[in-house]
Structure 1
Amino acid sequence: MTEHHHGAGTVLPQAVTVVLALLSLAALHHLAVRRAVRRNPAQDWPVWRTISFATGLTLVAVALVPPAPTGFPAHMAQHMLIGMYAPPALVLAAPVTLALRALPPAGARRITAVLHSPPVRCAVHPVSALLLSTGSLAVLYFTPLYNTAMSHPAGHWLMAAHFLLSGCLFAHAIAGPDPAPGRPGVPARLTCLGVAIAAHALIAQALYGGFFTDV
């Protein structure tokens, strides 16, 4: 397995950028909660959803704020935090529902229209989310893509963004509390979840044994 090293001079600026971005998201969430409650005082926003959002941001910070991983085991630990642990916490915070409550009617209608658009309905289908989240792992680790991405400064951040976004998409498609027009029933979602678990197990075994891998 190839180890990749990134310049030490870029670590601090990158860490500061990540912290500022996460703090901005936390502040935006806080403002959205206040506005949602102000718009409808009779319907309070659950505290546990705010805690869930903060937990997700914290997990992302734990994964991204330290120096970039210099070996494959460190990369996989980061991948687990960003792609598997943080997404459920962020999704359970119901950010779309919060936005619908916080925005004025015109803005809420625009979000609803986007949710009902064919591209979004396709993207949030469990099969599409499965291919983007789990299927992409096979492409990443069983082709030269991983080493190619890690050899460029932006590759590490692009992979982290993909892990986080695809993980959130899959968590939303399977069990997200936000509106998901066209999402299939529970049996279909559980089937996709089972396929994802099996695929992750196979990929993990292949990586551990060094079979068909290029990392």
Structure 2
Amino acid sequence: MPHHPHHESGGAAEVVLPALVLLVCAGGYLLLVRRARRRNPVRAWQPWRTVGFCAGIALLAAALLPPVAPFAHRDFRGHMAQHMLIGMYAPLALVLGAPVTLLLRALPVRRARRLTAVLHSGPARLLAHPAVALLLSAGSLPVLYFTPLYGTAVDRPAGHWLLHAHFLLSGCLFTHSVAGPDPAPGRPGVRARLACLGCAIAVHAVTAQLMYGGFWVDVHAPVAEVQGGAEIMYYGGDIAELLLAAALVATWRPARRAMPAPAAQPSR
């Protein structure tokens, strides 16, 4: 039985609007790349970051457009595949595209300084902490699937899109806090980030196992769909988090130790 009845006659707007928004985001990124190259031709923008950001846009398109989107509207397994794409895989590609660094290079000096001041502000430093990002991303999963919140959200078009926005923003925030190349003044050391990543893996695994076993789950869908969605969360989450760990290792730079000053030679 379909458990998202309001989406059966969604119309062309559910395809056209997301496609337009994604095209605008991709075009805006490419425009910033062009502007950054003009402002500083010597300091070239890495092409692989552009490829990464565009890959993130492509993953979002795969999640929000047919055939995945209609499947997600009528089957919980499709919803979970959509959740993985929007909340874990697309954020990793988008964040590795370093959009904030690109924006800082493309903006005039005054505006870049204002943006830097915002990044160094107390609220921004708090949000950039992996523990806060962990709470907003993985910590929201039990609240969503073990309470009536999921059914309330998907039964309303606005709630459905708010759910997508939460997955995307919290996923980008967690990815940035763990392994993002953009400036993050409040980011702790590698050990703390690895600990938060380990907690995220545990939360995903335990939530998926409880869903598969039918414990506390509050999703109005056939048992086979719930179990299939739990398997997608379990294995898909593991792969995404391994990729995030690899990104952390790839972007990690050990702190340079100051060289001791040479001892003064005794005067003769």
Question: In the alignment, which residue of structure 2 is the partner of 1:12?
Answer: 12
Deviations, residues 109-147 of structure 1 (Å, cap 9, x unaligned): 111011011111111100000000000111111110000
TM-score by length of 1: 0.97
Letter in structure 2 aligned against 1:124: A
Letter in structure 2 aligned against 1:47: P
Alignment counterpart, residue 164 of structure 1, candidates 157, 163, 168:
168
> How far has the Cα of 1:9 moved from its partner?
3.6
Map residues 18-167 of structure 1 onto 2, 5 A cutoff: 18-66=18-66, 67=70, 68-167=72-171
Deviations, residues 180-205 of structure 1 (Å, cap 9, x unaligned): 00210000000000000011000011
Deviations, residues 14-48 of structure 1 (Å, cap 9, x unaligned): 21000000000111111100000100000111110
Contact 1:83 1:164 in 2 (8 A): yes
Q: Greater CA deviation, 152-161 or 176-185?
A: 152-161
Structure 1 unmatched ranges of 5 or more: none
Distance 1:100 1:7 in 2: 40
Distance 1:100 1:210 in 2: 48
Deviations, residues 136-173 of structure 1 (Å, cap 9, x unaligned): 11111111000011111112111111001100000000
2:215 paired with 1:193: no
Deviations, residues 93-123 of structure 1 (Å, cap 9, x unaligned): 0000000000000110111011011111111
Distance 1:5 1:73 in 2: 16
Contact 2:18 2:64 in 1 (8 A): yes
Q: Greater CA deviation, 129-138 or 68-77?
A: 68-77
Structure 2 unmatched ranges of 5 or more: 220-268
TM-score by length of 2: 0.78
CA RMSD of aligned residues (A): 1.3
Report percent identity of matched pairs. Answer: 64
Contact 1:57 1:86 in 2 (8 A): yes
Distance 1:2 1:212 in 2: 21
Distance 1:74 1:115 in 2: 36
Distance 1:209 1:11 in 2: 36
Name which one, 1 or 2, has greater alpha-carbon Rg: 2
Contact 1:129 1:173 in 2 (8 A): yes
Distance 1:179 1:75 in 2: 33
Alignment counterpart, residue 177 of structure 1, candidates 178, 181, 190:
181
> How far has the Cα of 1:6 moved from its partner?
2.8
Contact 2:129 2:187 in 1 (8 A): yes
Deviations, residues 46-82 of structure 1 (Å, cap 9, x unaligned): 1100000010000000001123521211110100110
